[in-house]
Amino acid sequence: MDCQRSPREAKPEQSFRELYESQQKETLSPRAALPSDANLTQRKFSAGYKPDDCRTEFGRDYTRIIHSRAFRRLHHKIQVFVNPANDHLCTRLEHSLHVASVGCTIARALKLNEDLVMAIAVGHDLGHAPFGHRGEECLDKLATRHGLGFSHELHSLRVVDVLESPYREHPGLNLTFAVRDGIACHYGEGFEQELKPDCGKRVERLDSMQRGEDRPVTLEGCVVRWADKIAYLGRDLEDAITLGILRREELPEGVKTVLGSKNAEIIGSLVQEILWCSREDGAVCVGDQVHQALNEFYMFSKEKIYHSEKARQSWSQVEQAMAILFEFLLKELERASDNPNDLFGERRVRCLQVFRQFLEEDVKDWREVPPARTVIDFIAGMTDSFFISSVRDLFLPTETV
């Protein structure tokens, strides 16, 4: 039987978004971030900006992030190992979805704002360099020589504020303060036994943040900071086992006893521990035994996985290639005239064509930015495969006949 929809005769008194926000006020914890909080939902550019009929402000941020080019590129950025042949190893995109899954499980149980958790989670690694943390270290070394610095946490904020600019009205994605803060405050190294939000923080603080030193302004941001750690520890273990770097039996007994020896067990143990310990404290925390096991697990992973021979076997090549590419692009940029067409002459190399497009469309004020900063921005946005093809096309001989 065919069903016909009757035309809407009158606009309802409340939009779907307003109804949803009313439900959130009634059902979420008093500690949850609400879209009615003017401090948390403020955006850099408000001219002409209108609330959405269906989505909350945080839900709107989530949509903007997952439709960004920077998010799509995460599919081609590997998590730990350089240029692996195995297609089943975790990528940055998958890791971001894992963080969102873990974070939402915790947020739902603690009656926090899942929309905010989702938005922070999918955006937290947008600024990651190619080749994981090794690429990040190389870029930081190059940037430091020019009085700058590089960390993927703060660069993720730069991506959403400046580099990812699909709108005519303003640069960046124009996200809310709570999402921008959560992105910049995620920090995967080390395990705080207790993490409380800095509820008094104001948006101006984002301009002077230091990597790993600031606490998120919301409890949801604290959840994502923990979910990031939960998501990568067990997943990196599984990837290492897949590559034959270590055997599951090698895990320290304390880790196996307290957390488990498989990714699913580790995630389950840590999520339950956080839910049990964080119910009433207004913080995300774990007990002494779990905290000790986490630190033991991290030190084990650092030695056996992240600094293993297989993980390090291409480090020197990455460092050399990144330095060569950086210096080449920097010299090209410094020679640039006011005419963008003169930027790279007649060279029809894809890397240079993409770089020109990056300057013309993404950072239109590049002449006012230190050249080293612009080159760092460009290289950081590369996928692993595009970096490799760029180095090959620019510096290796090609067939001429």
> pLDDT by residue (tens digit) across 64-122?
999 999 999 999 998 887 766 667 788 999 999 999 999 999 999 999 999 999 999 99
Considering the domain boundaries, does residue 149 fall inside one?
no
Query: Global pTM?
Result: 0.94
Same domain, 370 and 303: no
Q: What is the pLDDT of residue 3?
A: 53
CATH number, domain of 94, equals: 1.10.3210.10
Same domain, 249 and 215: yes
Give the 3-state DSSP-derived string for 313-372, with helices as H, strands as E and coil as C. Answer: CCHHHHHHHHHHHHHHHHHHHHCCCCCHHHCCCCCCCHHHHHHHHHHHHHCCCHHHCCHH
Considering the domain boundaries, does residue 268 fall inside one?
yes
Show pLDDT as tens, one digit a residue, over the chain (401 residues): 455 555 555 566 789 999 999 999 999 999 999 999 999 999 999 867 788 999 999 999 999 999 999 999 999 998 887 766 667 788 999 999 999 999 999 999 999 999 999 999 999 999 999 998 899 999 999 999 999 999 999 999 999 999 998 888 888 999 999 999 999 999 878 889 999 999 999 999 999 888 888 999 999 999 999 999 999 999 999 999 998 999 999 999 999 999 999 999 999 999 999 999 998 778 999 999 999 999 999 999 999 999 988 888 888 999 999 999 999 999 988 887 556 556 665 567 899 989 988 988 888 788 889 999 999 999 999 999 999 999 999 998 876 65
Q: What is the pLDDT of residue 1?
A: 47
Same domain, 304 and 331: no
Exposed, middle or buried: residue 9 (CB in 10 Å: 0-12, 13-18, 19+)?
A: exposed
Same domain, 366 and 303: no
Q: Are 386 and 76 in contact (CB under 8 A)?
A: yes
Same domain, 273 and 370: no
Beta bridge partners of 15: none
Token reading at 185: 């405050």
CA distances 153 to 79, 160, 189, 209, 277, Å, are 15, 12, 11, 10, 27
* Domains contained in the chain, number: 2
Residue finishing a domain among 278, 311, 344: 311
Considering the domain boundaries, does residue 33 fall inside one?
no
Token reading at 142: 């190059």
Considering the domain boundaries, does residue 172 fall inside one?
yes
Same domain, 344 and 300: no
Considering the domain boundaries, does residue 271 fall inside one?
yes
Same domain, 97 and 205: yes
Residue finishing a domain among 266, 295, 311: 311
Considering the domain boundaries, does residue 304 fall inside one?
yes
Backbone angles phi, psi at 110, to 5 degrees: -90, 5
Which of the 8 DSSP states describes residue 15? -
Residue type, 397: P
Longest dimension (CA), the chain: 72
Same domain, 188 and 319: no
Same domain, 210 and 294: yes
Residue finishing a domain among 293, 311, 329: 311
Cα–Cα nearest to 320, from 81, 134, 129, 146: 134
Element (H, E) at 194: strand 194-195
Considering the domain boundaries, does residue 364 fall inside one?
yes
Same domain, 185 and 107: yes
Same domain, 301 and 347: no
Q: What range defines the domain where residue 83 resides?
A: 51-126+164-311
Cα–Cα nearest to 184, from 220, 148, 219, 209: 209
HSE-CB for 325 with a 13 A CA cutoff? 30
Considering the domain boundaries, does residue 93 fall inside one?
yes
Which of the 8 DSSP states describes residue 90? P
Rounded Cα–Cα distance for residues 388 and 401 (Å): 23
Same domain, 344 and 384: yes
